[in-house]
Amino acid sequence: MSSNRGIVHIYASHNNTILLLTDLTGAETIAKSSGGEVVKAQHKEGSPYAAMKAAEIIADKARDKGITEVNVKVRGTGGNKSNSPGSGSEATIRSLTRNGLIIRAIENVTPIPHDGCRKKKKFRGKKK
């Protein structure tokens, strides 16, 4: 790879954190990791610790490929569910910088509905 830049896509739900390192076009995957790879207990997949360890794996693979600068795209669950990213996103970004990657930009790419799907019954609210 000729360029020393890449994009880290972070999908941080409340149950898991998934990281994907791509080239600048976003078409070619260089490395991927998730919270489930680094912890044994399923209920800890979305924890900041699991996200931090997954970010270390991504940073190591990025250094092997010669990537030093990254753009970060953070995504929450979105849609008609929670728009806020999970607790793993902040720990991931902190861990990437600690492991020697320079972060150029952080962008929130959570999908937001423009009155699309109907919410679950308990979240629709009462009309008077």
Rounded percentage of the chain residues whose pLDDT exceeds 90: 80
Q: What is the pLDDT of the chain when averaged over all its residues?
A: 92
Res. 18: pLDDT tops 70: yes
Judge whether 55 and 38 are in contact, CB under 8 Å. Answer: no
Query: Does the domain made of 5-113 have the CATH classification 1.10.1380.10?
Result: no
Instruction: Report residue 42 as tokens.
Output: 């399923």
pTM for the whole structure: 0.89
Could you read off the pLDDT of 37-69 as tens digits, one per residue? 999 999 999 999 999 999 999 999 999 999 999
Task: Give residue 47's region: left, alpha or beta (phi > 0; psi -120 to 50).
Answer: beta
Instruction: Taking residues 5-32, report their average pLDDT.
Output: 95
What 3-state DSSP class applies to 121? helix
Res. 1: pLDDT tops 60: no
Cα separation values, 69 from 32, 102, 120, 127, Å: 17, 5, 41, 50
